Structure 1
């Protein structure tokens, strides 16, 4: 076992001290700090071309990734392991007026001694084995573990039977511009140095799955994440004549009732199941107050997947939307009849039927109807919309759908289904290739080897359950699955674009060996030091050694 605790702890403290909140100047600051740090190692002083700081591409902000590699001399081999982790953190609004303490672990822990915190948290605070602070868990301790290993092999390349590549990426907490840009450099190094990428190790944080769960988890593969979105158009009416129109908020509410927390929309694979979808936004699109009902509403949901493709999800949600629309109209009719009965007014049959379109279905219909006039108008509209800095990709997509709807001949109420944000792909590590099986064997061996040195059980699971940049190291989706993203994201090619071919080109099996802690993204974010600063680096090192030994022996 490597004696690494003090070194990893010291580096974690330094990294936490840098306020690298996503989409702030701090992202640049931490990148330059890491580049300066790595460049100071004697190996990189002698081999300056082995470390680089690279600005992200296709990014509205100026920010950077830091990449480095060590070529081992133990055995002549092209086999290469990638160590990856993100430098950015979420914000600190949850700290309120104490936000400056978020980046000062010692001062913050001293202050917490006098605060009213849960008994279990106080016990951890007083144990001396937990470090508190923004980014301590997510994921600067994991990044510190990787840097420790990079430094070790930079000092001992004779112990490395292959190559080690290190990637510290920005923007994991928002749009993954960092890793998507880093793929370009990884491809260049692959060509220039003949690197054969055989495994990747991410070091994002892990947490208990329930209050009683004592396991520390290591993950094979990663779940996927989508943001299915729905623009709902209604029939506008004056509030004094409510039953003459159809409020899109009414349909949106039924849609959320249908989708939110629905176990039918949990995806199972390899004996593991995703959490159900939940709404992340629901609002109408009226710009100001009027006494008219809204013309349109917008809803989007978080959606995790293990085995379903983006195409599968669209098909399932189109069906769910149709059910919700039908239920909404049935409720509308029933309430309208009751109102007519109590107000002694005649009942009139409502003119609407459920209508649900995928975005690509609506677009194809409008192209067939209007031809080049529609295409040119929408191209111009999207280019003009890019000038509106207030719109994120999600609202940009909604505005595009709203504009396209204006070209529909039939303006009766409808639901349009599309994607409005980044797709983080799923990756299933099943052992289907030799490299996958070698990585699985190495991971299982590492867990078994370190377990006697640690009191709590270390358990293997198949899918990392949170959003992760590890999603962009390999693809389990086929061409049709990715095409569903391209054809059903209205922002595609203007406000949003991902070159998924880069992911296919890297195509390296990935695992997650990350620090253990609790309350990531929360005020009491904390990391357990024994596991995170001792066990994690040693497990990662054992995977590196075994993967490179096995492959170099082939």
Structure 2
């Protein structure tokens, strides 16, 4: 599978599903049960599809085994890009390169790993085609049982590296699949990869949840002025700098839940919005942040962000007023600013303006950069509304990934209890250590896998996200079931030195996933 390229958004991603379906169709089980192997349309042109494979036993109880097949770009391999998807030659080429020159610490570690023989390189081998391979091994073992109890449903989805359109379309189709085959889906196992910089103790794990992600933006509107008369206007850059200072890497903005702490927010993008050069100060600056959370809701995030932005805006205005007073040697003026949510901005527009914005959104919807799309729509909306600075428009610039965790429901707590025994027995059987970890930090499809979002949260996000392409439209009737992540581990995924730890992935992981699935299928 690694030798089948499948970079997100490429024609190779679209063709991968048919290659995988054809491969599974040649196995003995699916030669006998061809109707239990099919694809579900996802998105794109050419159409990308999810591969679905059902292995039946007795009864209705069903566990879903999930993984994605799209990968990030191969561009960072440089001259080795032609080998990026060919693991053995790539590993040898990387060894040759690393042995030929002085190394930094990360490269020295990669060399040691490759020389050990335990690690294999390859774009997507770690993230996450080795997880798919483990899933397929589990399917084959389950199909070989004399009288298996329950059912396994394998799904291989596209687009995890972009906006999880594969998993979201599969999620929407799952109720009909369950009705069609009379399945009671009681749990899910995702097989995404994790990283560990030590001996693998952090990678040999069952993750009980996946982190939540928000992407709040601040669209800053100042009052432009000639650079020779700086106090005749309001600096959008000063306002944006204060917002960044109040947000970026501030530890108090992280949260703690399940005994673990989330990272603080970081600024992903900061740019003024103008095309050419002149000596007029820019009137508009765009900021976007990545805010990961273990507990906060959309309403809490938006409320906290508004408070932070309002405070930073006033600090910037008070500082510039004080500078003007010292420069002009007279009493300071008191400049006031405004903070609006994107929903509040839209409420100021007439019907014709809203129609124009929707048309703009449709024209931009094919773009893969959510921040660029959101930035252009917000800029147009602010112009339509005639907003004068100083002001800041806030909202969400890209798709929200909900926090999920087993502790959120009783069924999840029961699943964890079953996996406790499986984990201990597998560790003993393979003479290794395996542990529970609370939160999978690599934003993942788990956020949409078995999760039924709250309507209130969905509505708040939709009205404050500029582009409909980056909102999650969850239909009624979605299934809800507990999920965990049990995947391979390695190092440097998405990087040139991406490598998978083979002994754990090829020996321990399929056994652990199989026993976990069987335990959860038991009545």
Using structure 2 for the length normalisation, give the TM-score: 0.93
Return the alpha-carbon distance in structure 2 between the equivalents of residues 196 and 337 of structure 1.
Answer: 71
Kindly indicate whether residue 132 of structure 2 is the aligned counterpart of residue 147 of structure 1: no
Q: 1:513 to 1:324 in 2, by over 3 A?
A: same
Could you tell me how far 1:500 is from its partner in structure 2?
A: 2.4
What is residue 51 of structure 2 aligned with on the other side? 66
Distance 1:361 1:245 in 2: 25
| Partner SS for 1:464 | coil
- Residue aligned with 2:323, SS: helix
> Alignment length, in residue pairs?
514
Change in CA separation of 1:265 and 1:450 when aligned onto 2, cut-off 3 Å:
same
Q: Deviations over 1:329-353 (max 9, x none)?
A: 2332343344x1xxxx454744631
Match of 2:515 among 542, 547, 550: 542
Q: 1:483 aligns with which of 459, 463, 472?
A: 459
CA gap 1:183/1:390 in 2 versus in 1, 3 angstroms: closer
**1:159 shift after superposition:** 4.0
Distance 1:33 1:350, change over 3 A: farther
Where in structure 2 are the equivalents of 1:143-222 lying within 5 Å?
143-156=132-145, 158-208=146-196, 214-215=201-202, 216-222=204-210
Q: Deviations over 1:461-485 (max 9, x none)?
A: 1211111101102447533222221
Contact 2:452 2:478 in 1 (8 A): no
Could you tell me which residue of structure 2 aligns to residue 510 of structure 1? Answer: 483
**For 1:193-342, what aligned pairs fall within 5 Å after superposition?**
193-208=181-196, 214-215=201-202, 216-338=204-326, 340=327
Residue matched to 1:95: 77
Specify the SS of the correspondent of 1:490. Answer: coil
- Taking the TM superposition and a 5 Å limit, the aligned residue runs for 1:43-62 are 43-57=29-43, 59=44, 62=47
The verdict on how the C-alpha distance between 1:212 and 1:31 changes in structure 2, with shifts beyond 3 A counting, is closer
The residue number in structure 2 matching 1:138 is: 127
SS at match of 2:402: coil
For each residue in 1:220-269, what CA deviation from the matched residue of structure 2 results, as whole angstroms up to 9, or x when unmatched?
A: 12111111111111101112212211222221122111111111211211
1:361 and 2:344 correspond: yes
Larger CA deviation: 114-123 vs 291-300: 114-123
Q: 2:389 aligns with which of 412, 424, 427?
A: 412
Q: Which residue of structure 1 lines up, in the alignment, with residue 9 of structure 2? A: 23
Q: Distance in 2 between matches of 1:404 and 1:19?
A: 40
Distance 1:80 1:214, change over 3 A: closer
Q: Report the alpha carbon displacement of residue 32 of structure 1 after superposing the two structures with TM.
A: 1.5
Deviation track 1:490-514 (CA, whole Å, cap 9, x = no partner) reads: 213xx34422246x72211100001
Structure 2 unaligned blocks of 5 or more: none
1:443 is the counterpart of 2:419: yes
- Give the Å deviation of 1:354: 3.3
Q: 1-side partners of 2:485 and 2:27: how far apart?
A: 26
Task: Pick which of 528-537 and 166-175 moved more.
Answer: 528-537
1:86, distance to aligned residue in structure 2 (A): 0.3
Give the CA deviation at 1:112.
2.1
| Matched-pair contact (CA < 8 Å) for 1:428–1:476 | no
Q: Is the 8 A contact 2:321 2:334 kept in 1?
A: no
Query: Is the contact made by 2:400 and 2:471 (CA closer than 8 Å) also made in structure 1?
Result: no
The answer for the alignment partner of 1:77 in structure 2 is 59
List runs of 5+ in structure 1 lacking aligned partners.
1-14, 368-373
RMSD (Å) for aligned C-alpha atoms: 2.1
The answer to whether residue 448 in structure 2 is matched with residue 472 in structure 1 is yes
Query: Helix, strand or coil: the match of 1:20?
Result: coil
Question: Does 1:500 pair with 2:474?
Answer: yes
Asked if 2 retains the 8 angstrom alpha-carbon contact of 1:206 and 1:514, the reply is yes
Deviations 1:66-120 (A, max 9, x none): 1111111xxx311100000000111122211211121121111112222235333
Aligned partner of residue 115 in structure 1, secondary structure: helix
Instruction: Give the match for residue 506 of structure 2.
Output: 533
Distance 1:450 1:411, change over 3 A: same
Residue 225 of structure 1 aligns to a residue whose secondary structure is strand
Deviates most, 233-242 or 474-483: 474-483
Provide TM-score, normalisation by structure 1. Answer: 0.88
Of the candidates 13, 27, 31, which is equivalent to residue 41 of structure 1? 27
Q: Name the structure 2 match of 1:110.
A: 92
Q: 1:124 to 1:159 in 2, by over 3 A?
A: farther
Q: 1:425 aligns with which of 379, 402, 408?
A: 402
Residue 214 of structure 1 and its aligned partner are, at CA, apart by 3.6
> Relative to structure 1, is the Cα distance of residues 470 and 334 closer, same or farther in structure 2, using a 3 angstrom cutoff?
same
* CA–CA distance in structure 2, aligned partners of residues 22 and 391 of structure 1: 10
Q: Shift of residue 60 of structure 1?
A: 6.0
Cα distance in 1 for residues equivalent to 2:158 and 2:5 = 13
Q: Which moved more, 1:237-246 or 1:519-528?
A: 237-246
- Encode CA deviations 1:124-154: one digit per residue, 9 max, x unaligned: 2111111111111111111110011122323
**1:177-209 alpha-carbon deviations (Å, 9 max, x no partner):** 11111123322111112211111000001122x
Deviation at 1:455, TM superposition (A): 5.2
